[in-house]
């Protein structure tokens, strides 16, 4: 992740030096109203893990809200982007069937306290192949870094699992200008390989009352199915969002 950030900094400086366009920085704060549907699976040598439904088995909340921060450097048709989101869920439930997790077995009729933390970072580059009359269409090259920490605790076991997923993705993003200071925008990026995939897509309606600030509302879906070193994440997070961004 550090090497990727360093390379993008060098790239940004190069673009700044050689681009004739005026540079601009956009800072965005986002609030996402989410609904969770997910399973986790953590195996160890000699004990295969169980697919564990976070909501139905562990009793984690279906709906939680999260903040996200984004920063974007604009150099004409070139855009360098970074975003950071931290997610966290907790569950408390008496499980009705035995489950295997990270080398331990949690028997049926056992109360299990659980926690899932996920940090989702995106760093990338967008190039606008169309940029005219306030409307754009661009190609997105993103590097997504996802860190997942899961913990299950009962009276007889307390096991944790950590999964790190570095994922390069491709996508498209665009905006169409509308009358009366409005616009609509959408973007989607992802990757698929074998039975694994990741898709992150959203659409929004934007209102720009002044040239340097905008308010947006939209809907976003983050859907992924990934495996790393015997750990599996089958994860869907979706819901509406509100954003405020300022450009300077």
167: CATH: 2.40.128.90
For residues 74 and 24, the answer to whether their CB atoms sit within 8 Å is yes
Q: Among 90, 88, 119, 62, which Cα is nearest to 238's?
A: 62
Is pLDDT larger for residue 1 or for residue 29? Answer: 29
Whole-structure pTM value: 0.88
Could you give the percent of the chain with pLDDT greater than 70?
91
Q: Is the pLDDT of residue 69 over 70?
A: yes
Q: What is the mean pLDDT of the chain?
A: 90
- Is residue 18 over pLDDT 50? no
Average pLDDT over residues 30-39: 93
Buried b (16+ CB within 10 A) or exposed e, 175-199: bebeeeeebbbebbbbbeeeebebb
- Nearest in space to 84 (alpha carbons), one of 169, 5, 192: 5
**For residue range 183-210, what is the model confidence (pLDDT) as tens digits?**
999 999 999 988 899 999 999 999 999 9
Instruction: Please give the residue range of the domain that contains residue 142.
Output: 2-247
pLDDT digits 0-9 by tens, 103-147: 999 999 999 999 999 999 999 999 999 999 889 999 999 999 999
148: how many CB neighbours lie within 10 A of its CB?
23
Number of domains into which the chain is organized: 1
The per-residue pLDDT for 1 is 58
CB 238 within 8 A of CB 35: yes
Which of helix, strand or coil describes residue 6?
A: helix
Query: CA torsion sign, 10 to 11 to 17 to 18?
Result: positive
**Residue 161 confidence (pLDDT):** 92
pLDDT surpassing 90 at residue 232: no
Pairing of strands 78-94, 104-106: unpaired
Given this model, what pLDDT does residue 233 score? 87
Per-residue pLDDT at 195: 85
Q: Whole-angstrom Cα distance, residue 182 to residue 50?
A: 48
pLDDT tens digit sequence for 73-99: 999 899 999 999 999 999 999 999 999
Give the C-alpha separation, 153 to 161, whole Å: 12
Cβ within 8 Å of residue 22, ≥6 positions away = none
Q: What is the DSSP letter of 47?
A: B
Task: Count other C-beta atoms under 10 Å from residue 19's C-beta.
Answer: 13
Query: What pairs with residue 88 in β-bridges?
Result: 117
* Higher pLDDT among residues 37 and 169, named by residue: 169
Q: Which CA distances in Å does 54 have to 57, 66, 95, 155, 165? A: 6, 18, 11, 19, 19
**pLDDT of 151 over the 90 cut:** yes
Position 46 confidence tier, pLDDT thresholds 50, 70, 90: confident
């Amino acid at each position: 992740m550090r090497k990727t950030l360093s390379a993008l900094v060098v790239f940004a400086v190069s673009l700044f030096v050689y681009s004739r366009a005026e540079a601009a920085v956009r800072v965005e704060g986002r609030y996402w109203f989410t609904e969770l549907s997910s399973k986790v699976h953590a195996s160890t040598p000699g004990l295969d893990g169980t697919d564990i439904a976070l909501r139905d088995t562990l009793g984690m909340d279906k709906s939680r809200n999260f903040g996200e921060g984004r920063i974007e450097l604009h150099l004409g048709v070139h855009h360098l982007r970074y975003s950071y989101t931290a997610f966290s869920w907790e569950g408390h439930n008496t499980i009705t069937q035995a489950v295997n997790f990270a080398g331990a077995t949690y028997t049926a009729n056992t109360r299990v306290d659980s926690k899932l933390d996920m940090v989702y970072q995106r760093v990338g580059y967008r190039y606008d192949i169309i940029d005219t009359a306030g409307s754009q269409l661009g190609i997105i090259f993103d590097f997504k870094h996802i860190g997942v920490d899961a913990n299950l605790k009962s009276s007889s076991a307390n096991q944790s699992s950590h999964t790190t997923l570095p994922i390069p993705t491709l996508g498209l993003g665009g905006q169409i200008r509308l009358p009366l200071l409005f616009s609509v925008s959408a973007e989607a990026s992802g990757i698929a390989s074998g039975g694994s995939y990741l898709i992150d897509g959203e659409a929004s309606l934007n209102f720009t009352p002044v040239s340097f600030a905008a308010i947006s509302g939209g809907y976003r879906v983050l859907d992924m199915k990934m495996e790393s070193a015997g750990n599996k994440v089958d994860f869907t997070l979706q819901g509406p969002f509100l954003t405020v961004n300022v450009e300077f």
